[in-house]
Amino acid sequence: MKFFLFNPLYSSPVGKDQEKYFIRSGSRWPHSGIKRRGTLPHYLPFPFFLAYAAAWLRRDGFEVSACDCVALDLPLSGLLARLSGEKPDAVFFETATATIKRDLALAAGIKELLPAVKIVLGGPHSTVFPEQVLAENPAVDFVLVGEYEETLAELASALRAGRPAENVKGLAYRSPAGPANTGKRPLIEPLDKLPPPAYDLFPASWRPDPAVYWDGFCQHRPAIQMHASRGCPYRCDFCLWNQVMYSNGRYRVFSPERTAAEMLEAVKRYGAREIYFDDDDFTIVADHVAALCREIRKLGLRVKWSCMGDAINLTEGLVGLMAEAGCVGIKFGVETGSPRLLKSLGKPVDLAKVSQVVRWCAARGVKTHATFSLGLFDDDLASVEETLSFMERLGADTIQVSVCTPFPGTRFFEKADKAGLLMTRDWEKYDGKASGVARHPSLDLDEVEKLRARALRRWLLRRLASPSWLLRQARYFFRVLRGLGPFFMFAQLRDIFREERLLSEE
C-alpha cells in the first residue's frame, strides 16, 4: 500500500512579480507571506509532523512518497501531476483555518483525479471541526484529530488489513449513520516511540535536501531543524498548537541520548553547521537541557545550535553550560510586560528575570530574540503601554511584536465568541499575519498596530544609543556573515524588508 504525504503551496499574485503564499505545515502559527515569484520564502519551517508520520509509515512497511510544495515552489498543478503519476492508495495533508476552503477544494480535485484514493486530513482546523469537515465534503474519507502520527500509522495498518477504522482512536470517519468520532487518543509517550523524522524524504522524496529549510534566527548554514521536546506546561489562551494539537497535554521530551545522536547524524549526513531546536519550549526542564548538553560534549559534537525556549527556567549556570555545549542563540516568549496579564495567562514570567537572562546570554555570546503579543483578551491600553515600555528597556538582540489572532479551538477564540466580539467566520481572514477578525473588549486594534510600529522604532533608536549593544551586534554580524555568507545574508534581509513593506501596504 502506497501513501503520499504532502504540504500544498497556495499562492496568488500580488502586483507585478510578487505573490502571496501560506506557511502551514511546520509552523505553530499558520500565516501568509509575500515573496517574489519563482523564489523560496525567507522563512521555511521543517514539516516535522509530516516527517515523523512518513518515517512511522515506512517503518511499518508502507511505501511512502512525500512532497513539501512550499519548499519546492511547486504549484498545485505540479502536485496533481505528481499524484497522477505516482497513483498512491492514500494521501494525507494538514489543514489550516485560513486555507481550509482551498484545502477542501484540493481534496475534491484529488478525488476527481484518483477516485479510488483514500483522502486523509489532519492539522489544527480539521481537528477542531472533524465531523463538520466530513459532513460537508464527500471527498474526504478520514480526519485525524490532534497529534496524528500514531493515528495515521494505525489507520494505514487497518486499511491494509481490511479492518474497520472505528477501532482506531483519534479518528473521525464515515459511519452508516453519518460522521463519527472514535474518541480522544492519548499523546505519544514516551516520545522516543516516534522514529527519527524522515529528513531523506523532504522537501521531496525525489529531491531530498533538509538543508533547504531555514529559520532566520540561525547564524550558520546549513542549519538543520530538530525537536528535543513537545508541548508546554503554560496555558497562554492564544496558543494554537498546545491547545488544539496537544489538547493541553503534558510536556514530553526525547531522551538526551537520542537527540544528541540525531544531531550527530545531521552533521555527518547533511553537513549541518547549526542545529535549530524548533521546540514549543526547549528550556522547560533544566535537568533535561543540562543532560543534553553533557551528551553533546560526550559525543565531541562541535556543531553550533540555537533553540526556541523561555526565560522562566534558565539560570546563569545553565546558560553557561548551554554556551559551552555550542548554543549560540535563544528565542523566548515574554508575551507581555504587564504582571497582571502574565498572571491571567498562567505564564509565571518574572520580568526582572527576563532582563537578567538577556544579560547572562550577552556575557556568553548567546544571541537573544524576545517575542511579545499585543491584543491579548485581557489587554487594555495600560497593559499595552506596560508591554511596549518593558520591550523598549529590554536589551535583547532582536525582538518581535505580534497582534494576536483568535484561532478556532483556542480559549482566546471562545472568549471572543462568547463576548460577541467575532466580526466574521470567513475562515480565509483568520491569517496569523492579518487582523480584523474580532473586535477587542478594551482596545482599538488599529491604534494598537500604530503603537506597535512606533514602539519598534523607539526600541531600535534606544538600542542604537547603547554602545554595549552595538558592539555585541557587530560581533554577531561578523559571525553571521561568516556563517551564512554575504550573498545569502543580504538576500534574506532584502526579502524580509520587502515582505514587511508589502504586508503593511495590504
Residue 136 has pLDDT above 80, yes or no: yes
d(CA 42, CA 389): 30
- Report whether pLDDT(436) > 80: no
For residue 16, what pLDDT band results from cuts at 50, 70 and 90? confident
What is the structure's pLDDT at 448? 86
Inform me whether the pLDDT recorded for 493 exceeds 90: no
Helix, strand or coil, per DSSP, at residue 168: coil
pLDDT at residue number 345: 87
Per-residue pLDDT, 74: 97
3-state secondary structure labels for all residues of 368-434: EEEEEEECCCCCCHHHHHHHHHHHHHCCCCEEEEEECCCCCCCHHHHHHHHCCCECCCCHHHCCCCC
pLDDT value, residue 45: 97
What pLDDT, in 10s, does the model give residues 465-479?
999 999 999 999 999
**Cα–Cα distance for residue pair 332/357, rounded to 1 Å:** 10
Residue 231 has pLDDT above 70, yes or no: yes
Confidence of residue 49 (pLDDT cuts 50, 70, 90): very high
pLDDT of residue 182: 97
Helix (H, G, I), strand (E, B) or coil at 314: coil
Residue % of the chain over a pLDDT of 90: 87
Cell of 37: 515569484
Average pLDDT of the segment spanning 413-440? 90
**CA atoms of 256 and 239, how far apart (whole Å):** 27
| Amino acid, single-letter form, for residue 63 | E
pLDDT band with cut points at 50, 70 and 90 for residue 503: low
pLDDT score at 468: 93
**Alpha carbons 27 and 190: distance in angstroms, whole number:** 23
Strands 11-14 and 2-7, by their bridges, are unpaired
Given pLDDT bands bounded at 50, 70 and 90, which one contains residue 504? low
Element (H, E) at 353: helix 351-363
Low-confidence winner among 120-124, 285-289, 340-344 (lowest mean pLDDT): 340-344
Instruction: Using pLDDT thresholds of 50, 70 and 90, give the confidence band for residue 453.
Output: confident
Please tell me the predicted confidence (pLDDT) of residue 506: 58
Q: What is the mean pLDDT of residues 284-297?
A: 98
The pLDDT of residue 133 is above 80: yes
Whether residue 254 is predicted with pLDDT greater than 80 in this model: the reply is yes
Map grid coordinates 549593544 to a residue. Answer: 469
Do residues 78 and 70 lie in contact, with contact meaning Cβ atoms separated by under 8 Å?
A: no
Higher pLDDT, 498 or 29: 29
Mean pLDDT for 164-176 is 94
Instruction: Give pLDDT, residue 62.
Output: 98
Task: Go through 216-234 and write b for each residue having 16 or more CB atoms within 10 A of its CB, e for each that does not.
Answer: ebbbbbbbbbbbbbbbbbb
Burial, 21: exposed, middle or buried (Cβ in 10 Å; 0-12, 13-18, 19+)?
Answer: buried
> Is the model's pLDDT at 491 over the cut of 70?
yes
351-404 pLDDT, tens digit per residue, is 999 999 999 999 999 999 999 999 999 999 999 999 999 999 999 999 999 888
How many beta carbons lie within 10 A of that of residue 190, not counting itself?
Answer: 11
Supply 394's cell numbers. Answer: 529590554
Check residues 347 and 44 and name the one with the higher pLDDT: 44
Average pLDDT over the chain, rounded to an integer: 94
C-alpha span between 472 and 245 (Å, rounded):
38
What is the spatial distance between Cα 311 and Cα 351, in angstroms, rounded to a whole number? 9
What percent of the chain shows pLDDT beyond 70? 99
Q: What is the pLDDT of residue 505?
A: 62
**Which pLDDT band, with edges at 50, 70 and 90, does 495 fall under?**
confident
Cα-based angle 22, 24, 26 (whole degrees, multiple of 5) = 140
Q: Look at residue 27 in the predicted model and tell me its pLDDT.
A: 95
> What pLDDT score does 235 carry?
86
Tell me the Ramachandran region of residue 22: left when phi exceeds 0, alpha when psi lies from -120 to 50, beta otherwise. Answer: beta
Would the pLDDT of 263 be above 70?
yes
Model confidence pLDDT, tens digit, residues 304-332:
999 999 999 999 999 999 999 999 999 99
